[in-house]
Every structure is written in C-alpha cells, then in structure tokens.
Structure 1
C-alpha cells in the first residue's frame, strides 16, 4: 500500500512526498566478514608434534633398555667388552640402540622411510660431530655423551617439524603386533627389568612400601577412593605391606630376601584385583602385574644363585 499521511484540516489522504535524492550513498547492509582463523588448528598441530616427540623419546629409551644388556652379553661372550667400553664406541652403540627403538616406533605409526632415515641421522650426527673435538682432546668422555644427547633434541625437533604435514604411509599390522601394542604397559614393565636378569639382586625391604603407596596416591589424585569400602581396602593393603616390610627389616639376611620376593609376588595378585579400573587405570594395573612378577622372579634367582 502506498505510503500516505493525513492533513489536519482535511480528511483527504494524499501521497507523501518521495525522499529527495542526496549525494550520499544509501548505507548498505554490512558485508559479512570472514571469520578470523581460530587457534584450534595450530594448537592441535602443536599437540600432535609434542605427542610425536614424546613417543620418539619413549621408543628411544625402550631401545636402550632392551638392547643395552644384549650388547654387554655379546661383548663378554666375544671378548670385546673393553672395546665396547671406549667412549666413542659407547656413544655410537647408544645411538644405534635409540635408532632401533625409534625406527620400530615410527614404522608402527606409519611414518615413511625417508622420515625414519632423517630421524636416524638426528641420532648419529650429534655424536659424529663431537668425535672430532673428543679425539683432539678438547672435550672429555662425559662431554661427548652429554653433548650428543643435548644436540640430539633440536635435531629431532627439526626433523619432526619438517615432516609434520606429511600423510602417513599405508600399513597393515599383524594382529599379534596390534595386541602387543594394545598392552604396551606390560611390555614397558618387561623392558624395565631386562638388565636386572643380567645381574640379579634383591631389592631393599623398604621398596615394598611403594606397592600400596602408589595405589593410594593415584586414588587420591583420581578421586576414586570415595566408593563404599574402597578407602578401607586400600588402607588395609597399606597396613599389610608395612607390616611385611618391618618384619623383613628386623629379620635380615636370606629371610628378609625371601620376604621381599614374596611381598612383590603377592602384590601381583593385588594388581589383578584392580584391573577393573575403579581405583587406578587398567594400564597401570597391567604394568604393575608384569613388573611385580618379573622383579620377584629376579629376586628368587638372586637368592638361589647366592651362597647362604
């Protein structure tokens, strides 16, 4: 309907005058601007990078723990232990152990071979560069090993940054490999005890206090001790292992050694009872089961191979 207005002295409706043209343009609706890029994508990229570097560090440590004792056994068997103990050889052996662990980890994560090769170079090149001043007498063995590890960190970061946007290579994992990866806490526990089989010994009785203490601390941190009877059960376990520790300390000798081995082995049953994840994560319980059994077996071996 046409816009109209009424005059006070007339009932006749007349059209309202049209607006006069002006030199100013009619304001138009604001044009929607593109949304500013959020920080979510860079933050996600940084998290992936840090996660990748963390995985590499764990794989390298696993390689050293697993292969280190094997080098010692091979050196003793072949009579080249003194040669392997030389600083420059020890540095390259350590780089090899880390490279093997890193290679397995990266290939499992479907990284391509050229990226694996560059990361392997990041393991060796720092030590190779420091061999020149070491042979010239400018640095000692400690500086060689420490400097190699320190230079390795930025080298790894540079390689990870270079390949952070690359797509993963297609990979098919065997079901056994997938199962082992799913139960990695158990594998980590085995790695931590590899070198103990070479030179078995009995742990101090006081180490048994760590067994129930770990469950209590994790339960407090996760706030999982509030269930019915949960806190009472954990405190009862603490009392049992504290009593066993005190008895072992007072007994001493082989009796104490057997009590310590029994305490660690018995705690494996405690771990199995906590695999439901109510108090501690399931992975932690699996880790403790394997670690407790392995350490108990090592201590039994040490007791049986030691003269009374």
Structure 2
C-alpha cells in the first residue's frame, strides 16, 4: 500500500508540473487574467486529479477507487475554502494546507480499499505506439525531466552539502526496504556515504568556483551510481534509481552550465 501512495504522490507532482504550466500558457495565449487563489486551488486539484486518473486507469483500478482518489484531491481544497472565504486563511496557507491534507486523504482512500491496493491490480495492455510505450515504462525518467525543466532555463549553483542528500536517500530507502540483510549492501552504501560526504567537506574547504565544479562532478558521479543500482535492482526500487539518475545528471550538467554562463 505504501507503494501505491508513493505512486499517487508522484502522479500529483506530475499533474502539477505538466498540466499546470500548460493551462497557464493557454490562459496567457487567450489573454485570460490569472485565476483567483480559491479558483487556482481548485484548478491545481484538477491538474493532479487528471494525472492520477490516467495512472490509476493504467494500473487497472476500478471506477470507485479512482473516484475516491479524485475526491481526496478536491475535498481538502473545498474544506479550506470556507475559512479562506471568511478571511481566516491567507492564500498561501490555503495552498499549503490543501497539499498537506491531501496526503492523509489519499491514505484514507487507500485504506478503504486495502484489498484492492494490496493485490496490485494488473496494468492494462501496453500501448502499441512506441512513444506511448516509452512514456508508460519510463515514467520515472519523464517525471524527473519535468521536475528539472526549469534548471535548463535558470541553471543554479548548488552548495557542497547538497551532496549529502545523495547517499542519504539510498540509506533511508534501504532501511525501509530492509535491504541490509543482503551481504555487501550496507557496506557499499556506507562507502558511498563516506565518498560523497568526503567530497562535500573537501569542496566546502576549497571554496570558490572550484567547489562548484566539485559539486557538479559529485552529482554526475552519483548518476553513474544510480545506473549501477538500476541495472542490479539492489537496495532501492528500479523506478527510484531511474528517477534519481535523471535528476542527478540534469543537476550536474546545469551546474556546469551555470558556471560557464556566469
């Protein structure tokens, strides 16, 4: 069931990143004014719902389960619209609160049909079109590309200690998945922690532009680490390794881009 909650959360993010900008671009093209915060919150819920409906349909879920998950997107917004309209909540609080309440609402929807979610409905037949097959089977990479799209237009420099996130993710997921009983798994991850932790400390000590080059190398090197884990299937799910590979590669490359253009 945790896997399904993670899938739904990723679908939420994908919906916001894909449908939100597309909707905003259409509004600009037709000269429409930006939506008021209350309407914007409902549109945001719609963006997320569309992505979740598509993913749940592909996963083979029934209409009732899909409807309940859509309700989990709208209900928090509708509940918070009451105090927002009364002037009790600010617009930012409305959006943040809706996001936070969506997660437990999703959990309730999953628990209501725990038998359906626990038995992993069979995905529908794979699409025949090559592009559609790629989108279905490589959705972690697609999600990562959507999440990092802004980095290409606005490349940013990341500090040395951001490198600590890289081994931390593997150690956390490995612990949750109880992977340390497999010989060598924990040892390799601790070596990775020492390597990227040491690189972070060295970059921080060096400082200046050199530090950012070292950070870029660290992110790109971790993309190789992700590739190895994607091929072996060890410690983390292959979907996470694929997603992380793209994130790491894009961040490493865009750090270099920022260094070369500033």
Note whether the superposition's TM-score is higher than 0.5: yes
Task: Compare 57-66 and 70-79 and name the one that shifted more.
Answer: 70-79
Q: Is the contact made by 2:223 and 2:248 (CA closer than 8 Å) also made in structure 1? A: yes
| 1:63 maps to 2:9 | no
2:247 aligns with 291
253-262 or 127-136: which moved more? 127-136
Structure in which a larger fraction of residues adopt helix: 2
Equivalent of 2:77, from 127, 135, 143? 127
Map of 1:173 onto structure 2: 126
Q: 1:88 to 1:199 in 2, by over 3 A?
A: farther
Measure how far apart 1:174 and its partner are: 0.5
Partner-residue secondary structure (3-state), 2:126: coil
Aligned to 1:223: 180
SS in 2 for 1:222: coil
CA RMSD across the alignment:
4.4
Report deviation, 1:99. 1.6
* Whole-Å separation in 1 of the counterparts to 2:196 and 2:204: 12
Residue range with higher mean Cα deviation, 151-160 or 126-135: 151-160
Asked if residue 137 in structure 1 is aligned to residue 77 in structure 2, the reply is: no
Within 5 Å, give how 1:24-63 maps onto structure 2. 55-63=7-15
Structure 1 position 296, deviation (Å): 1.3
Q: Structure 1, residues 78-137: CA drift from partner, whole Å, max 9, x if none?
A: 886x834x4223312311221221121122124466875675455346535654653443
- Work out the CA distance in 2 between the residues paired with 1:122 and 1:217: 28
In structure 2, which of residues 182, 188, 204 is the aligned counterpart of residue 249 of structure 1? 204
What is the Cα deviation at residue 265 of structure 1?
Answer: 0.9
1:261 aligns with 2:211: no
Call closer, same or farther: CA 1:113–1:304 in 2, change over 3 Å. Answer: farther
Take 1:132 and 1:215, find their aligned partners in 2: how far apart are those partners? 41
Once the two structures are superposed, what CA deviation does each residue of 1:10-58 show, in whole Å capped at 9, x if it has no partner? xxxxxxxxxxxxxxxxxxxxxxxxxxxxxxxxxxxxx6xx766664343
**Aligned match of 1:303 in 245, 255, 259?**
259
| Match of residue 165, structure 2, among 192, 206, 210 | 210
Counterpart CA distance in 1 for 2:209 and 2:24 is: 29
Structure 2 residue 233 is matched with structure 1 residue 277? yes
Residue segments in structure 2 that go unaligned for 5+ positions in a row: none
**Would you identify which runs of 4 or more consecutive aligned residues in structure 1 move more than 6 Å?**
72-80
| Aligned mates of 1:113, 1:192 — CA distance in 2 | 29
Q: Which has the higher contact order (CA 8 A, sep 6+)?
A: 2
How far is 1:248 from its partner? 2.0
What is the TM-score of this pair, normalised by structure 2? 0.68
Q: Does 1:100 align with 2:54?
A: no
TM-score, normalised by the number of residues in structure 1: 0.60
Separation (CA, whole Å) in 2 of partners of 1:210 and 1:247: 16
Distance 1:208 1:73, change over 3 A: farther
* Paired residue secondary structure (1:90): helix
In 1, Cα distance between equivalents of 2:237 and 2:109: 34
